[in-house]
Structure 1
Amino acid sequence: MRLRLSPARFQRLIKRSLPTTLFGRSLLIIILPVAVMQVAVTWVFFDAHWQAVTSRLSEGLAGDVAWAVESYQDDPTPESFARIANRAERSMSLSMAFQTGRTLPVGRRPALFAVVDRSLEKALAGRIDEPFWFDTTRYPAYVDIRVQTPQGVMRVLAPRDRAIATQGHIFVLWMTVATLLLTAISILFIRNQVRAIERLASAADDFGRGMDVPFFKPTGAREVRQAAQAFLAMKARIQRHLDQRTALLASVSHDLRTPLTRLKLELALAEPTKRTGEMKRDLSEMEHMIDEYLAFARGEGGEGVETVPLKTLIEEVSEGAVRAGAQVSVTAEPDLTASVRPNSLKRALSNLIMNAAVHGEHILVTAAARAGGGVEILVDDDGPGIPEDRYEEAFKAFSRLDESRNQNDKGVGLGLAIARDVARGHGGDVTLSRSPMGGLRATVRLPG
């Protein structure tokens, strides 16, 4: 059964086989046409010029050998052969010897370029009627030609340049050197351009993860510098927006907490009644809600990146869940570290661990290095869990899955949203899955 490759499938196959990097594709765009041109020029040279010159040389050599054979057959004596050999040596640069009673060898080694053997064989067959044998590979500087006569074998050693255009390999060498030189120059220039794009991508990635990029400067081609300048302008606008938001949040936090503090003080001084107790609970819930709103709106808050030991950080965060009555176990290598914004990561892990403490009694927090780089933190609980089709819904801000898990009365549905926002701000993510303990597993992945 013959398989037919459709055009669409052939196109997909070509795309999969092409380089995926900008460096590889740019190099292919430059080198492939040059290589094709070099191959075409070399092919034309060998087919039209080198082969034609070799054929003419072979025909001239075959004519000289035919003259020597015919002259000897006219007078097949040693004296006649000596005269012919002497004339051939002086006039034609041919070394001749006569092997009395010998026969031609059987078989011969083919030349590297088949056109050499074909041209010489065609020329000898057209000029000599007697059986002949030749070898173009045994001697580097000579061609060995032997002709069978009734008296024996006439052997002729001819200089190689009399049968073959010996300068062809020099042309091929120059073409190869030119291709390698052009390839080296292309690699040098393309690498410089790609390096500028890689620096821009690295700076954008670092800035996206909250790291400062003070030493980044636009380099490379004009278009790349324009993109870098646009990135720096965007970075400045975003940083200005973050600074303004941080200042605004600090002011709002102060302005909101001042009346709350006054109300709490007045209730503390008021006569304790059932009504004042309910008001205190309302104020406490309002304060908790404001804290969550501000934490969600604050985001990264301009915090710097530090390398911290994860086990110590997780144990500090877990203390709150332990005080709330949950049994928390932490498993992590003591020397496992990560470059993170510590307070932001603490806030994210605190939300996940406290969420697990609210819905389960036993919590297991595991931190380990990932095989592909980075770290992974697992938070498992033995609570009721969440249906699989509602995992993504749980990450939506202000989402409360009351029917799946008994949501904390104080919660406003921002815990998972804050955790994912923090993880993605670090270049990672948070996902949910079924825990081996029977409840919910929250997986925090952070890059290396």
Structure 2
Amino acid sequence: MQAYQVAELTPGLGADERREFRDRALSSARNPSQFTQLREIEGYGEARLSLIERYLLQGTPDASALAAREAVALSAQASQYAKAMEGRYVAALLLMRRVLLGTALVTGLLSVTSALRALLLWRSEMDRRARREARQREALSLASHELRRPLQSLLLASDLLRHAETQEQRTHLLALIEDGAAQLASRADLTRLNDLYLDVTLRPRAQDLRPLLERFAAPRVELSLPLEPLVWPVDGDRLRQIVENLVENALKYTDGPVEVALREVGSQPEVTVRDHGSGLSDTLHGQVFLPYDQGPRGLRGGQGLGLPLVRRYARAHGGDVTLAAAPGGGLQATVRLGQPAGTRAETQAAGGAGLLQARSDAG
């Protein structure tokens, strides 16, 4: 392009000679393969080799000037690219120097590369194994935490069964034992530990939520349930674990009664568990959902796993759990249920008919 521009400005040159210079420049512009890293160079600015070809084909003095200007700009972009590559090469050389100095006792660079690659693969495998073992420990810790209550219930019911005097008492205690055994089976399936406690795969079905909460009635637990069925797609076993953990925590934090309520808020179920203890500061409301955090004083005998599991199950149901100061003192945990994964599309497609039928059946 410079030669062609000089030819254009040189008096005495014939049209054929000028055309020859132009054809040389045009041939160069039409052969982008001779310019290595052209795409990368063009990425450093607006100049393009194709524009030079277009201007040359116009054959006018103004177009020739534009082509020359484009070539200068493209050359400047090439200089920027060269500087960038120079910095990379310098960094690469420095890195190579450090590697060579650090591996001076190794017989050859190829052996060093193989050793480093093997070391990286080993480290990666060790990291994967550590993460896998950590997940297994977490699943086993959560399973141990959740098996404690049904085991206690089984032991207590079996002990009482030995001293039962009437058939009615024995029937009631046998029902408690059957329920405890079912909960053990639900929470201790070794083939589903990840689905139960880590990745949380639910098995939801539409059901009345009131019977799920009625089992928590106790001398220190006051229930407030709606008169009409409140039907919602939930995994009953997981919802039971949610309420169990919240009630257990509330009982440990207060010597007074614990209030469990179920109501429908904005067409969605909401379960609240309220105690009358000393409560928590606002800054700790989120902290206690971290694994192994036991609150400001530490729960008596707690492991700090209950609330994190509650949040995991609540979010798997498409909802969440929050803590707030209760009116008049104490702490209130609120579990708002949404649509569990896998049930949204079915519910929308059915137009709610299935839930209405389930509500009618439960009534």
TM range (shorter): 0.3 to 0.5
Q: TM (normalized to structure 1)? A: 0.32
Report which of the two has the higher share of strand: 1
TM-score (norm 2): 0.39
